[in-house]
Amino acid sequence: MSADPGVTPDRSALIAALGVTIDPELLELALTHRSWAYENGGVANNERLEFLGDSILGQAVTVMLYSSYPDLDEGELAKRRASLVSAVALAEVARGIGLGDHLKLGKGEELTGGRGKSSILADTVEALIGAAYLDCGGDEATALVLRLIDPLLADPARFGAAMDPKTSLQELVASLGRTAPVYEVVDAGPDHSKVFTATVVVDGEGIATGTGTSKKQAEMAAALSAWTALSARTA
């Protein structure tokens, strides 16, 4: 259910997961999706914070990669940066900290599974980074970025999967002696705001689904979820 605008939710678990205390009003703004804002009188939403956080995220990841991988050329650095700041990777980060439970969504988004949508989760991560920058400064915001992406960097297999989930899934499926994955994609919503849902099918079995604002994004999200599911089965 969407949050009651008159009730202040308990954000202690989220604050602990982030590792930084953000001003409560700014934190609530960062968690406010435009659908919730529209249904509650057109109040402010998190899109401006998302815009700010996107820039901070890109800079922090760029500097980290440049410093940590001195032997990589520009092309490989750019590829790794693109993977780490992608909606697929950020959505995985969001799921890891339970961010979906804290989103402020309108009823329509609630009914269509908005708490699990990669695009919404990724945008909210960026908004939180922007909020951390405004309230705590650049150093704290950069530290937050590095904490958030650390689980991907600490797990080479998952890092590789996040960089190129469709290729990683195809290689994993081949190693298991199964047929190549097939992606079944459907879309919903008006032309200016479509949501795509992809299902990965292997040997007739639906392994996982993913959503996104484009067919490619949905397929990547589904591929990473399928890679995770199949990896867990073979562990």
Q: Which of 154, 187, 222 is the last residue of a domain?
A: 154
**Residue among 54, 92, 109, 219 flagged as catalytic:** 54
**Residue among 92, 126, 135, 219 flagged as catalytic:** 126
Residue 231's pLDDT band (cuts 50, 70, 90): confident
Contact 47, 120 (CB under 8 A): no
> Tens digit of pLDDT for each residue in 13-42?
999 999 999 999 999 999 999 999 999 988
Cβ partners under 8 Å of residue 129, min gap 6: 52, 53, 56, 57, 141, 144, 145, 148
Q: Which residues are annotated as a binding site?
A: 50, 123, 126
Q: Could you tell me what percent of the chain has a pLDDT over 90?
A: 61
d(CA 227, CA 221): 10
Q: Are residues 140 and 202 in the same domain?
A: no
| Overall domain count for the chain | 2
Long-range Cβ contacts of 22-26 (<8 Å, 24+ apart): 22/128, 22/131, 22/132, 22/135, 22/136, 23/131, 23/135, 26/131, 26/134, 26/135
54 labelled catalytic: yes
Could you give the angle at the alpha carbon of 77 between the alpha carbons of 72 and 83, nearest 5°? 135
Q: Are residues 125 and 189 in the same domain?
A: no
Contact 52, 84 (CB under 8 A): no
Q: 3 in a domain, yes or no?
A: no
Q: Which of 100, 130, 154 is the last residue of a domain?
A: 154
Residue 200's pLDDT band (cuts 50, 70, 90): very high
Q: 1 in a domain, yes or no?
A: no
> Tens digit of pLDDT for each residue in 146-177?
999 998 887 767 667 777 889 889 999 999 99
Find the domain containing 108 and state its range: 11-154
Q: Which residues are annotated as a binding site for Mg(2+)?
A: 50, 123, 126
> Tens digit of pLDDT for each residue in 38-65?
999 889 999 999 999 999 999 999 999 9
Q: Are residues 62 and 111 in the same domain?
A: yes
Q: Are residues 150 and 169 in the same domain?
A: no
Q: Are residues 139 and 105 in the same domain?
A: yes
**Unique residue bearing structure tokens 């290729």:** 167
Say if residue 7's pLDDT is above 70. no
Sheet holding 182-188: strands in order across? 182-188, 195-202, 205-212
| DSSP-based three-state secondary structure for 178 | coil
Q: Are residues 41 and 136 in the same domain?
A: yes
Q: Are residues 145 and 226 in the same domain?
A: no
Contact 35, 124 (CB under 8 A): no
CATH assignment of the domain containing 200: 3.30.160.20
**Unique residue bearing structure tokens 């609530």:** 28
Residue predicted with more confidence, 168 or 6: 168
CATH assignment of the domain containing 150: 1.10.1520.10
